[in-house]
């Protein structure tokens, strides 16, 4: 049986009144993301959340 992992975060607000979440590099890795990825969150049940990811690949 696999162990369920959860990340619990507190909403923060910047000076402009925009609400945001901060994620550590460990949090991002756990979600399969990297810095710069765009994420949309949608809550389905009390604590069940799904993510829609639009990964950003930069080429120079």
**Is residue 41 one of the residues assigned to a domain?**
yes
**Is residue 1 one of the residues assigned to a domain?**
no
Total number of domains constituting the chain? 1
**Is residue 7 one of the residues assigned to a domain?**
no
* Residues of the domain holding 33: 12-54
Residue-wise pLDDT tens digits, 3-60: 777 788 888 999 999 888 888 999 888 888 888 887 777 767 776 676 666 666 655 5
**Is residue 34 one of the residues assigned to a domain?**
yes
Check the CA dihedral 38-49-46-27 and report its sign: negative
pLDDT at 57: 64
**Is residue 60 one of the residues assigned to a domain?**
no
**Is residue 19 one of the residues assigned to a domain?**
yes
**Is residue 50 one of the residues assigned to a domain?**
yes
Distance CA 23, CA 35 (A): 9
* Count of other CB atoms within 10 angstroms of residue 54: 8
């Amino acid at each position: 049986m696999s162990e369920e992992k959860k990340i619990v975060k507190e909403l923060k607000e910047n000076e402009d009144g925009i609400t945001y979440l901060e994620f550590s590099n460990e949090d991002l890795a756990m979600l399969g993301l990297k810095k710069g990825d765009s994420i949309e969150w949608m809550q389905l049940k009390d604590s069940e959340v799904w993510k829609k990811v639009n990964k950003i690949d930069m080429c120079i």
